[in-house]
Copies of this chain bind each other. A is one copy, B any other.
Amino acid sequence: MTTQQNKNTQQAIHIGSSCACFAVRKMTRAVTQLYDHHLSEAGLRITQFTLMNAISSFGQVPVYVLAEELVMDRTTLTRNLKPLIKAGLVASVPDQKDARVRNLSLTPQGAELLKTATPYWERAQAEFVEKVGERSWAEVSQGISLIDRALSAGPRPSDRMMASR
C-alpha cells in the first residue's frame, strides 16, 4: 500500500502544482474575497458591481450580447440579473424590432448605487494593487488579456456542428 500511496500522492502533487484551472480558480477566490469585503459596505457584491458597470458601459445592451461579452452562459446571466431587476437596479425591456430580445439598462437608482459604490471599489482596487505591486499586476493583466484572446479564438459553434462529439 505504501508504495502505491506514495505514487498517488506524488502524481496528485504534480497535478495540483501544474493545473491552470486550479491555479486561476484559487486566485480568483482570494481576489473576490478582497473586493467583496470592501463592496459589502455598499451593499453590493463585486459580481453585482461589475455586472452593473458592464451594463452602464453599454448604456443599453441585449442579454445575449452581454453574456457573450462576459464569457458567461446566457442562463447564468439571466440568473445573475434576477436580484438586480427585483431590486429595481436594472431594467429589462423587450426590443422593438426583435421580440425575442430583451435590452438591459440601469435604472436611475441603479446608476445612483453604482456611483455610491464606486469609492469602495476604488479602495479594493487600491488595496489589491498595493499588495501585489503595480508592475506585477500590469504584467499579469497583460497575460490575462492574452489568455482571453487565446480561449475566445476557439472553434465557433457552427464549426463544431459536424465535428466529432
Q: Is the CB of B20 within 8 A of A129?
A: yes
Q: Is the CB of B21 within 8 A of A24?
A: no
A27 interfacial by beta-carbon distance below 8 Å: yes
Chain B residue at minimal CB-CB distance from A26: B71
Q: Is the CB of B31 within 8 A of A147?
A: yes
The majority secondary structure among interface residues of chain A is helix
For A57, the chain B residues whose CB sits under 8 A away are 9, 12-13, 16
A157 interfacial by beta-carbon distance below 8 Å: no
Q: Mark A23-60, 1 if CB is under 8 A from B, else 0.
A: 11111111111110000000000110010011011110
If the complex has contacts A12-B57, A136-B143, A151-B34, are A50 and B21 also in contact, measured as CB distance less than 8 A? yes
If the complex has contacts A25-B28, A28-B25, A141-B20, are A150 and B125 also in contact, measured as CB distance less than 8 A? no
Q: Which residues of A contact B (CB under 8 A)?
A: 5, 8-9, 11-13, 15-16, 18-35, 46-47, 50, 53-54, 56-59, 70-72, 111, 114, 118, 121, 124-125, 128-129, 131-133, 136-137, 139-141, 143-144, 146-148, 150-154
